[in-house]
């Protein structure tokens, strides 16, 4: 995550309880590193346990994600980010037409190969 992206995202994240005077222990990992790990996971489609060693341990990243998800903070974060994007666009709603991938002009059998497959022939050597 670049410094510019982080400056946009940081105010949207929830403030940890220990920083608000609610007690508790300071968190061991920076939220920026946690978000970088989650973005890497989503972008590359890997499993939690396959997280590279450059990021915090996978169980800590998953614990943050699970806590944010269970407290509906992921949706709130998404809504805040979407609201900020809409403000920057002047409040205009931009719609994208989605293609319907379920319907294809050709039947499934025709989509597999345009050319008929040849039967396997054994090569006989003299």
Could you report the per-residue pLDDT of 81-101, keeping only the tens digit for each?
888 888 888 766 655 555 555
DSSP 113: -
Instruction: Look up the pTM and report it.
Output: 0.59
DSSP 10: G
Centre a 10 Å sphere on the Cβ of residue 113 and count the other Cβ atoms it contains.
8
Q: pLDDT band for 72, please (50, 70, 90 cuts).
A: confident
Total residues belonging to the chain: 126
Could you report the per-residue pLDDT of 32-67, keeping only the tens digit for each?
899 899 989 988 989 999 999 999 999 999 998 888
Could you tell me what percent of the chain has a pLDDT over 90?
Answer: 13
Q: Is 97 helix (H, G, I), strand (E, B) or coil?
A: coil
Q: How far apart are the first and last CA of the chain?
A: 64
Q: What is the pLDDT of residue 62?
A: 93
Q: What is the pLDDT of residue 93?
A: 60
């Amino acid at each position: 995550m670049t410094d510019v992206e982080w400056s946009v995202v940081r105010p949207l994240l929830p403030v940890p309880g220990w920083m608000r005077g609610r007690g508790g222990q300071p968190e061991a990992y920076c939220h920026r590193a946690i978000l970088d790990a989650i973005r890497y996971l989503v972008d590359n489609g890997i499993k939690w346990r396959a997280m590279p060693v450059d990021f915090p341990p996978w169980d800590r990243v998953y614990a943050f994600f699970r806590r944010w998800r269970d407290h509906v903070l992921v949706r709130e974060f998404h809504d805040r980010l979407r609201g900020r994007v809409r403000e920057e666009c002047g409040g205009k709603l931009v719609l994208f037409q989605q293609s319907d991938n379920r319907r294809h002009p050709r039947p499934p059998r025709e989509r597999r190969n345009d050319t008929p497959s040849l039967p396997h022939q054994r090569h006989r050597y003299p």
